[in-house]
Homo-oligomer: A and B are copies of this chain.
Amino acid sequence: MRRDLITLDDLTETEIQALFGLAEDFLQRMTSPDHPHRIRGRDPIAQDFVLATLFYEASTRTRFSFEAAMLRLGGEVLSSADPKTTSASKGETMADTVRVVENYADLIVIRHPWEGAVRVAAEYTDVPVINAGDGGHEHPTQTLCDLFTLQREKGTLKNLNVLLWGDLKNGRTVHSLVYGLARFGARIIPMPADGLGLPDHVIHRLSRDYDCIPIDKKDMGDTRVLDELPVDVVYVTPEKPHQRSLFTDVGEVEDKHLRTRLPSNALAKIDACYVTRLQKERMSGNEAGGEYPMVDAKFLKGRRYKESSVMHPLPRVSELGYDLDDDRRAVYFKQAAYGVPIRMALIAAILKLKQGILAEEPPHRLHPVYRERTLPCPNPQCVTCQESEQRYLWPRFWIVPVANSVLLRCTFCEHEITPALVGTASSKTVHANTSRLESLPTDLVFFAHEESARQAGYRFESTPSGGKYSSSK
Whether A38 and B102, one on each chain, are in contact in the complex, defined by CB atoms closer than 8 angstroms, is yes
User: Which stretch (A50-58, A264-272, A395-403) binds chain B?
Assistant: A50-58
A60 to B316 alpha-carbon distance, docked (Å):
30
Give the interface SS of chain A, mostly helix, strand, loop or mixed: mixed
Task: Give the chain B neighbours of A102 by CB distance below 8 A.
Answer: 38
**A144 shortest CB reach to chain B, Å:** 16
Is A42 positioned at the interface, with any CB of B under 8 Å from its CB?
yes
Q: Given A81-B81, A103-B339, A71 and B42 touching (CB < 8 A)?
A: no
Number of identical monomers bound together in the oligomeric complex: 3
Whether A79 and B82, one on each chain, are in contact in the complex, defined by CB atoms closer than 8 angstroms, is no
User: Which stretch (A88-96, A158-166, A409-417, A452-460) binds chain B?
Assistant: A88-96
Whether B61 and A68, one on each chain, are in contact in the complex, defined by CB atoms closer than 8 angstroms, is no
Is A67 positioned at the interface, with any CB of B under 8 Å from its CB?
yes
Is A223 positioned at the interface, with any CB of B under 8 Å from its CB?
no
A91 to B279 alpha-carbon distance, docked (Å):
12
Whether B333 and A99, one on each chain, are in contact in the complex, defined by CB atoms closer than 8 angstroms, is yes
Task: Give the chain B neighbours of A80 by CB distance below 8 A.
Answer: 60, 63-64, 81
Q: Given A86-B59, A322-B392, A78 and B64 touching (CB < 8 A)?
A: yes
A contacts with B, residue count (CB < 8 A)? 64
- The chain B residue sitting closest to A103, CB to CB, is B337
Whether B92 and A315, one on each chain, are in contact in the complex, defined by CB atoms closer than 8 angstroms, is yes
Binary flags per residue of A104-123, CB closer than 8 Å to B gives 1, else 0 = 11100000000000000000
Task: Give the chain B neighbours of A277 by CB distance below 8 A.
Answer: 90
A76 to B78 alpha-carbon distance, docked (Å):
11
- The chain B residue sitting closest to A35, CB to CB, is B126
Whether B281 and A68, one on each chain, are in contact in the complex, defined by CB atoms closer than 8 angstroms, is no
Task: Give the chain B neighbours of A317 by CB distance below 8 A.
Answer: 90-92
Select the residue from A35, A72, A315 with max chain B CB neighbours within 10 A.
A315
- The chain B residue sitting closest to A393, CB to CB, is B322
